[in-house]
Amino acid sequence: MEAPYPTTPISPSTTRIGWIGIGLMGSPMASRLLAAGYFLTVFARNPSKALHLQSQGAFLATSPQHLAQSCDVVFTIIGGPPDVRSVVIGPTGVLSGLNPGGVTVDMTTSSPSLAREISNAAGGKLCWAVDAPVSGADAGAREGKLAIMAGGDSRIVEWLLPLFEVMGKCTYVGGAGCGQSCKIGNQIVGSANLVGLSEALTFAGRAGLDLGKVLAGLKGGPAVNKIMELFGEKMIERDFRPGGFAEYLVKDFGIGLNFVEEDEGEVVALPGAALCKQLFIGMIANGDAKLGLQGVITVIERLNGIN
């Protein structure tokens, strides 16, 4: 027996939404859904942290199960795979409460294999699961400009689009787990962009160039990238305030990618990604775990006796 497809399109007046995870990312995302007129029920381990959402009209549930019982769609965006496992498929988790036809959407950056496990568990309950991790940092979450990479049943992802559009732009990338795999790909490319830019600016600095002019020169050529636009000036101005923490990127690299030290995920040799991971680990080693990703330039500088 297959889970039934939803028969009613998403709308603020009829779709009941659950939200679990009100951190740096989840809080502004939930807030945007409330502002768009949706009824939202929130579960928070520490309810005092949900006060601002309550003041926007959010209801409070006492457990993921309690929340899911009254919701058509439940979003999660929480720490990492162990939290996701417990909150979604644990004894009092989302799937223990969701009605047949309900949808659980995990927006945490988590592992592809866990996403597939959740999808199977959801199917067993005649429910649906979508993995939809995001990229774009807290600013993207506040402004509704997140990149959402969604894996799961294509009709369900399409049905969810009105909600995703409140948060950003969704790209459907394939079946269960594919959203998470695409997010790993995004981190591989993004970190390469960050390290490449850090090295180019460090080189240019040592060569005595005006870094603002160099950045303009790079932006004019085929090496231009969005990371350069987002972080180039910040690197030059030594503004290392975090959009996302460096330590999170290191965590992301431990998910679904089997470098020597991990025992889960695809076995694939990626020397560039492995080096990038080491350089971001350098930030943690330097006590800079809570700086933004652009702070990786300081690791390249330290290598060269700068600062």
125 is catalytic: no
What DSSP designation does 209 have?
Answer: -
Piece of 7-15, 82-90, 95-103, 173-181 that binds a copy of itself (CB under 8 A):
173-181
Q: Is 295 in the site for a copy of itself (CB under 8 A)?
A: no
Active-site position among 49, 169, 183, 290: 183
Q: Is 118 in the site for a copy of itself (CB under 8 A)?
A: no
Q: Is 225 in the site for a copy of itself (CB under 8 A)?
A: yes
Among 87, 249, 291, 300, binds a copy of itself (CB under 8 A): 300
Among 95, 197, 291, 297, binds a copy of itself (CB under 8 A): 197
Among 99, 203, 237, 285, binds a copy of itself (CB under 8 A): 203
Contact present, 152 and 119 (Cβ < 8 Å): yes
Instruction: Tell the smallest beta-carbon distance from residue 188 to a copy of itself (Å).
Output: 4
Q: b/e string for 195-207 if b means 16 or more Cβ within 10 A? A: bbbbbbbbebbee
Environment class of 237 (CB within 10 Å of its CB; exposed 0-12, middle 13-18, buried 19+): exposed
Residues 6+ apart with CB under 8 A from 239: 233, 294
Q: Given the complex with a copy of itself, which of 36 and 204 has the nearer CB atom?
A: 204
Q: Is 257 in the site for a copy of itself (CB under 8 A)?
A: yes
Among 45, 52, 155, 226, binds a copy of itself (CB under 8 A): 226
Residues 6+ apart with CB under 8 A from 198: 235, 296, 297, 299, 300
Size of the site for a copy of itself (CB under 8 A): 74
Query: Terminus-to-terminus CA distance in the chain, angstroms?
Result: 63
Among 213, 238, 241, 285, binds a copy of itself (CB under 8 A): 213
114, amino acid identity: L
Scanning residues 25 to 44, which ones bind a copy of itself (CB under 8 A)?
none
How far does Cα 187 stand from its chain's mean position? 10
Q: Is 167 in the site for a copy of itself (CB under 8 A)?
A: no
Piece of 99-107, 119-127, 210-218, 233-241 that binds a copy of itself (CB under 8 A):
210-218
Scanning residues 76 to 105, which ones bind a copy of itself (CB under 8 A)?
none
Q: Given the complex with a copy of itself, which of 17 and 134 has the nearer CB atom?
A: 134
Classify the phi-psi angles of 57: left when phi > 0, otherwise alpha if psi is within -120 to 50, otherwise beta: left
What backbone phi and psi angles, to 5 degrees, belong to 155?
A: -70, -35
Contact present, 111 and 255 (Cβ < 8 Å): yes
Q: Given the complex with a copy of itself, which of 20 and 230 has the nearer CB atom?
A: 230
Q: Given the complex with a copy of itself, which of 137 and 163 has the nearer CB atom?
A: 137
Residues 6+ apart with CB under 8 A from 47: 60
Q: Is 292 in the site for a copy of itself (CB under 8 A)?
A: no
Please give the positions annotated as active site.
183
